[in-house]
Structure 1
Amino acid sequence: MAERGTIIEGKYEVLKLIGKGGMSKVYLAMDKNLNKQWAIKEIERKAYDKNNEVVVASAMAEANMMKKLDYPSLPRIVDIIEKENVIYVVMDYIEGETLSSVLSKEGAQPQEVVIEWAKELCRVLDYLHTQNPPIIYRDMKPANIMLQPNGNIKLIDFGIAREYKEQNLADTVSLGTKGYAAPEQFGGKGQTDARTDVYCLGVTLYHLLTGQNPCEPPYEIYPIRYWNPQLSSGLEAIIQKCTQLNPEDRYQSCAEMLYALDHYDEMDEGYRRKQKRKLNVFFATSGAAVLFLIIGCLCTGMRVHVNNSDYDNNIKQAELSATDEEKIDYYAKAIDILPGNSEAYFGIIEAFKDDAVFSLEEEELFKKKINSNLTVLQQNSDYGDLAFEIGKLYWYYYDYGKTENSDNQITRMKSAIQWFEAACTYGGEDSSYYTMAEMYRDIGQFNRDITLNVQEASDKGTYLPYWENITKLVATVSESQDENEIVNLEVYKLAMNAVETYARKFKADDVAQEDMKALLEQVKAGTEQVDTTTDKTEEMKNDILKRLQDAEAAVENAYAKDTEVKAS
């Protein structure tokens, strides 16, 4: 058993135990090289324990399976370390609490919230099911769903997931959680497939909506309105279909279930009655249609005029506001009035940056405004420009995962990649920001993928392009008079960290020692020239200048043997 302070494989320092069960424990650890927190699962090898064979085999299968996956709602496996008595699996550390914990504290959850969770779970399960071969999760339950501080969810614990085998008529091992597990999960009753996950998800939604644990009496899945008559009859029908004993009677895929969830209100009894009434009065109202059309055209013209006026007024009020909160509020109102106009989005981005922090609360507001309007915004000629500004907002200001003891630079980069990709796609090579967006995207992708590439020994040749992008970014920022102090200091810190961490790798990819020294000199000169206006940026500046010595030492160490040979 690892203890606090234990160093695993020379770089992972154990900070604390955060979970345990059966023959495995999970620790929070700090990567001393990358200054990043990871979760490390420790699985014991017990030589003569028959049951442990299943645990160890399951853990290795889980790790090797997850290494292939890349989806926002799934944790990544970045390292597998095999020792004589234990196996360590290093994965993303996910902050938050399980939905089982939320249920224990709060009871049944609001219907609208559960539906949004259900849709995301359908998407992630559909992603797994469309792998080649398909991956069947088999253990959906509230305890395996993490609710993060930003409101997003992640699916954890792939200990009993399996790749689907078409020739298998039945699973040989009964694995799953009784109460949530489908009938076919118990040996001899057929092979598990995508419909198994549909069943488990249906039971999970039942628990979340009603607060009734299926592992406790009455041990039956009652219609959800038995417990709460206010719940949707359409949603009740969906859950009833998910939890049919015969897989043939369920939704045949999570994509099919997702479609049903998107239209659950159309299955409500009230909705159907309303549609019937509409049909009955259709002919009675058709005679007045022409008159209403004329009036409607007049009203539409007036409404457009009023909307434009209200939109412009909110933009003006935002520009005149004294506080960031007021600016954000006015820009948000403007977006609600004309969601397809880009101006308010640019304005709210600048308001988010005013205090140098893009908080989780601000991100939640922003995502609500932009995600539902992306299709319209993408038709605008300036969408590439907007995507570029959103990318920079995440890259430099995103606050998620930052603590007093650790930076969140990698998290910020990863969150920005999709927006820089969109900037390249929609802006085109002729746009003024294309080259910068491409650099940001490639630097972000390198930092996202490098840990796994190192583990898989596929990192060779990736360091020179990374070096070239870093040097171009530093040169661009140094020459620009438009960037603020946060941007300048973040770029200089990124360059310094890159040299300190990858000096030997840069050398192996034929980067000259003189070039690395020159970059550090450029970082030093640029940092010294930054005029700081806040305590935060002053602290950043001092930290960079202080740590430059470590980066310089890393370069010297990387070329030490070459220097000795020349001297002799």
Structure 2
Amino acid sequence: MLQPGTRLNNTYTVVEAIGSGGGGIVYKAYHERLQTYVVVKQVKDRVKGILDARGEADVLKNIKHTRLPRVYDFLEIDGEIFTVMDFIPGESLDKVLLKEYKFSQKEVFTWTLRLAEALSYLHSLNPPVIHSDIKPANVMLTPDRDVCLIDFNVSLAFDQEMRMSTGVSSGYSPPEQYRDFSSYCKYLNQANFYNAPTVTMREADETAALNDETVIMDQSISGQTESSISQMVGRGVDERSDVYSLGATVYHLLTGRKPAADFDEITPIRELVPEISEGFAAIIEKMMSLEPENRYQNGTELLYALEHVYELDSEYQNYCKKNRFRKLLIAGMFVAGAAMIAGGFLLMGQENRVAYNRSIEKAQSLMEAGEFEAAGNLIQNARLRLPEDIHSYKEELLCLFSMGEYEKAVSYGKDILNNPSYIVEGEEEQAALGDIFYILGNAYFEQEDYTNAGACFEQAIAQNQKNCLYFRDDAIVQAKTGNADAGEQTLETAITLGLGEDSIYMVQGEIAFSRGQYEEAVNHLKESVQAAQTDELRRRAVILCAQAYKRMGDEWLADEIKLLEEAENTFTLQTSMHISEMLADAYARKAKADTGQSENYYEMALARFKDLYEKGYSTEQMMENIAILYQQTDRLDEAQSMLNDMTDKYPADYKPYKRLAFLEADRQQKKENINRDYSQMKKYYDQAAALYEETGNDGDTEMQMLENMMQDLKKGGWL
């Protein structure tokens, strides 16, 4: 067992042990780099040796879903395997049950939907991740009474054979999860479930060994044969096992009773909760079917059923039957039929609203998981149901923004504002309109169009004066456009509306930066990074802090590099790429400033740029930087190849030809005077000069330098 203060991988400091069980020992630890708490779990012996041999670890490290903890790391230390995940604040539901006994149907249904979304996500991964131990103790209730599914069994993603030997949580595990029939009998005996004599392991083994014979437990135990159970145990877990365990958990939350260890003794939920809706009861009963084939086959099927729960209610089914019959009579009974159909329209309207809302919520979850294309499709399908509702337009705009498609977001945002197809009637719709202005403003902000960003933020505030984030970003824009005093006043308003500490530091950093007070800006921004509650705010603070270090000069390069190195692997791929680009630039500047280490830093910069380029992050600036670094490290042919690619990709831009001219000059300088030929350099220069003139730009000092070089070559008789 690890002691408090133990340091793992020079990154995670153990705080305390917070639990243990069949899956291993669980510790609360502190992530020193991210300055946040995490959970470290010491994994079962059975998974040792698998991590290096299989690639599924990468699947788990890429898990990102709002109802699941993020997997940060897998560590192998002295033969022990540890997983590192998010620390989820709150209490596990088994502890909450002790205080509240049971919960309302409305609350449990909401939690079930959200947990089904998590299962749908896990089961859709390749390979599928099976939780294998869903129970109240593994569901966290957060301070805002949301739920998060914790402690999924990482070993089941690594080793398919382990699906035959996973642990059992009595009452929540399905029959197939028990190792064999004798182990099932052992659990019954341990549960002290019967008044009659217990069944011994030997008796169970002998009975189960009889070919095609019924395995009979003492008739006083349950009065029923156990042949069906004996045929199901020992099959091993799969996606359907998670469905059962979630059903058993929901059963406990609704009834206040843990499901009986003897499957034949489980009381139907309708008897314990008579007021439960027919549809929800039917779903739970199907989830807890003893035969896996009779359950929902995975989380996706379960989620669909929950989203269409109304279809299982007899009132809805009777409506459908009556509606079919009504169509036969409508020609002869138009007036009466019209009155009846009006009621149907009302019900169908409710159906549309439920399906629409669930689609929007599902799209939000997909966006949070980075599944933007799927989210966009779902939003557009939802709009077909309720084209006049504003929320689908807001979510589609947010989807474009989240993808980093800022130009498309601006175009789409302007279009939906100038040509609205939605209706704004109540306070909720007005707030959504404010969000549209706010998202559009942020799209302008990311393109550094602060004037239009500010105008959008002002419009957002006009729609909703209670949102402190609108005021926060308006204050930042005011600082960026040189009006720091107004920014301070707007910040005060945001604080009165409850602006968080992380955002306050961020705005203070922006204001100090705009005034040229870079050290003060750094202090505020580092506080913002440490306190940040969202990746987006942390990203902004890191980037601006790095820019402040850059303004402070080369003596702060080490601090800038440390900041970016720590931040590089803590964001989404797109944000990490941008930070990696900034880090590569810092390495290149460090190479110039520290001549003793220049070769090392140039190589580090080049490695970062090349990695980004190979991942598809191939902007023109990126290609130019790679070519420059190749030239700096005397790899002229590779520099030539990259610049040729630039001319193919950007044929109307002067910069690749300018860079080719410098490269050719460098190439000729390495030759003896008698062998030098600057004619190719002149061709590159002429192409660059012609294209440069078309831009109307006269502020590129490198073009002026190149022109001076050409004049010197002419004077020297080289041309």
Per the normalisation by structure 2, the TM-score is 0.44
Q: Distance in 2 between matches of 1:163 and 1:525?
A: 48
Q: Contact 1:164 / 1:193 at 8 angstroms: preserved in 2?
A: no
- Structure 1 counterpart of 2:69, which letter? P
Q: Deviations over 1:129-153 (max 9, x none)?
A: 2222222222222221112223332
Query: Counterpart in 2 of 1:162?
Result: 156
Q: In the comparison of the two structures, how many residue pairs are matched?
A: 392
Q: Which residue of 2 aligns with 1:288?
A: 335
1:228-307 pair list within 5 angstroms: 228-272=273-317, 286-288=333-335
Q: Does the aligned pair in 1 maintain the 2:382–2:392 contact within 8 Å?
A: no
Q: Which residue of 186, 190, 195 maps to 2:178?
A: 186
Higher helix residue share: 2
Shift of 1:178: 2.9
Counterpart amino acid of residue 240 in structure 1: E
Equivalent residues in 2 for 1:184-223, closer than 5 Å: 184-187=176-179, 189-215=234-260, 220-223=265-268
Which of 103, 106, 110 is the equivalent residue of 2:104?
110
- 1:254–1:10 Cα change, 3 Å: closer
Contact 2:171 2:259 in 1 (8 A): yes
**CA–CA separation in structure 2 for the residues paired with 1:377 and 1:260:** 19
Aligned to 1:555: 557
The correspondence for 1:72, drawn from 66, 90, 93, is 66
Secondary structure of the residue aligned to 1:201 is helix
Alpha-carbon distance in structure 2 between the residues aligned to 1:376 and 1:94:
37
Residue 100 (structure 1) shift: 1.8
CA distance in 2, matches of 1:28, 1:89: 12
1:138 and 2:132 aligned: yes
**Superimposed CA distance per residue, residues 333-354 of structure 1 (whole angstroms, 9 cap, x where no aligned partner):** xxx9xx99xxxxxxxxxxxxxx
Q: CA RMSD in A?
A: 5.4
Tell me which of 478, 497, 506 is aligned to 1:490.
Answer: 506
User: Whose RCO is larger (CA < 8 A, sep 6+)?
Assistant: 1
Equivalent AA in structure 2 for residue 120 of structure 1: R
C-alpha spacing 1:100/1:64, structure 2 compared with 1 (3 Å): farther
SS at match of 1:82: strand
* 1:213 CA drift (Å): 0.6
Q: Distance in 1 between matches of 2:292 and 2:8?
A: 45
Counterpart position of 1:454: none
SS of the residue 1:13 aligns to: strand
Unaligned runs of 5+ in 2: 181-233, 344-352, 358-378, 415-439, 450-474, 495-502, 525-530, 532-543, 562-589, 598-719
Q: How far off is 1:224 after superposition?
A: 0.7
Amino acid across the alignment from 2:14:
V
| Residues 387 and 419, structure 1, Cα contact 8 Å, conserved in 2 | no
1:523 paired with 2:518, answer yes
Letter in 2 for 1:231: I
CA separation in 2, counterparts of 1:273 and 1:160? 45
What's the counterpart of residue 410 of structure 2?
427
The alpha-carbon deviation at position 115 of structure 1 amounts to: 1.6
Determine if the alignment matches structure 1 residue 128 to structure 2 residue 137. Answer: no
Partner of 1:324: none
The structure-2 alpha-carbon separation of the partners of 1:187 and 1:216, relative to structure 1 and needing over 3 Å to count, comes to closer
Q: Deviations over 1:536-557 (max 9, x none)?
A: 9xxxxxxx99xx99x9986356
- Hey, what's the Cα distance between the residues in 2 that align with 1:489 and 1:41? 34
Secondary structure at the counterpart of residue 288 of structure 1: helix
User: Cα deviations across residues 362-408 of structure 1 (Å, max 9, x unaligned)?
Assistant: xxxxxxxxx9x9849997999899679x98xxxxxxxxxxxxxxxxx
Q: Which residue of 2 aligns with 1:96?
A: 90
User: Which structure's CA Rg is the greater one?
Assistant: 2
User: Where does 1:417-566 land on structure 2 (aligned, <5 Å)?
Assistant: 425-428=408-411, 433=441, 434-437=443-446, 477-481=479-483, 483=487, 484-485=490-491, 489-490=505-506, 493=509, 523-524=518-519, 555-556=557-558, 565=596
Contact 1:63 1:77 in 2 (8 A): no
Cα distance, 1:490 vs structure 2: 0.5
Paired-residue identity, %: 29
- Quick one: distance in 1 between partners of 2:413 and 2:279? 50
How far apart, CA to CA, are the structure 1 residues paired with 2:413 and 2:339? 48
In structure 2, give the amino acid aligned to 1:251: Y
Provide Cα deviations, 1:171-190, integer angstroms capped at 9, x if missing partner: 54243323222222234743
**Alignment check: 8 A CA contact 1:383 1:427 kept:** no
5+ long unaligned stretches in structure 1: 44-51, 297-335, 341-370, 392-415, 441-472, 497-517, 530-535, 537-543
Task: Check 1:108–1:425 CA distance in 2 against 1; reply closer, same or farther (3 A cut).
Answer: farther
Amino acid corresponding to residue 445 of structure 2 in structure 1: M
Does the 8 Å CA contact 1:95/1:148 hold for their aligned counterparts?
yes
TM-score, normalised by the number of residues in structure 1: 0.54
Give the match for residue 622 of structure 2. none
Aligned to 2:143: 149
Change (3 A) 1:126 1:430: closer
Amino acid at match of 1:28: K
Corresponding residue for residue 406 of structure 1: none
Question: Deviation at 1:15?
Answer: 3.5
Find the aligned partners of 1:528 and 1:103 in 2 and give their Cα distance.
Answer: 45
Separation in 1, partners of 2:73, 2:515: 31
Distance 1:198 1:424, change over 3 A: farther
